[in-house]
Amino acid sequence: MKTYRTLLLATVVMTFMLIVLGAYVRLSDAGLGCPDWPGCYGHATVIHASEHINAALAENPHGPVSFAKAWKEMIHRYFAGIVGLCIVGIAVIAWRNRREPATAPWLATLLIGVVVLQAMFGKWTVTMLLKPAIVTGHLIGGLTVLAILAWLYARTLTPSRLAAPMALRAFAALAFVVLAAQITLGGWVSTNYAALACADLPTCRGDWVPDMDIRNGFHVIRELGVDADGGTLAIEALTAIHWVHRVGAVIAALVIGAFGFALRRSGYRRLGGALLGVLTLQFLLGLANVWFSLPLPVAAAHNGGAAALVILMVLINYRVRANALPRYSGVLHESHAA
């Protein structure tokens, strides 16, 4: 079981790094550095595809293809392959030790299915030319893989003896739902390149409620930069995407922040403090993206902050459920006394 737990922890860390790397690839406009999948112009390495890349550069020197972008894209794919192999290894070990209470072989097997679907989203991201819905789905898929890995890892940890009241468990679930919704909104901002649609703070385009086109901004099935009628996506639509994400950030900060303080009051001081710390950093990174006009390191770190919050919220949700409150108040007092 030590091997299983170590592999899980290593894969959680690698998946976190993969999500940040994927954000870096997308934000540096390298998502189409290799316009096919899984190789690069049908080859396993950028070196072997050099003839095709040179031809693409000769045809369009400022296009989406270059050696630097191709390397970024392929390194991301290599890393994703390593993570996928580790996840297969986790499933194998889980089945071999299926009688151990800490393992969850069926969940580990489901995780392989999620990884396969995630790989298909990676393919469609390239072959469908960065459609916002596909790219956002790819981000959500990556975070889903991370969440399942974190849950599997949480099962291997020694449970706390501190009882968690049902209200705290419900609050934990609500906070996780709010976080998931806000991350989805953030993905929609990023994949539509709407991060700088509002370049001022705290207002947006000089107003608290600017002119917006909600309909086209949140029309899901469309090409990148195209509205529902096939025309160019207007700034009002991009403003709507950005503004809704800002409002969501305030709501998420209030809900998750309140949950963090509730955790501390319930005796989960370290988890509550860690959640409040990461939440504060993530909020500041979001402000810095606007204030400093989306510097690449800050934007990638903002994606990392979202991933860190997912890990924390999964661990917290598992912990408070593993320590469910007994039914009778007399037992509760005994548990706290212990």
Residues labelled as active-site residues? 73
Tell me the CA end-to-end span of the chain in Å, nearest whole number. 28
Q: How far is CA 159 from CA 99, 148, 240, 263, in A?
A: 19, 18, 44, 16
33, HSE (Cβ side, Cα atoms, 13 Å): 24
Q: Tell me, what DSSP letter sits at residue 34?
A: S
269, HSE (Cβ side, Cα atoms, 13 Å): 1
What is the torsional sign of CA 249, 251, 254, 257? Answer: negative
| Residue 44: strand pairing partners | none
Residue type for 111, please? L
**Contact between 199 and 235 (Cβ < 8 Å):** no
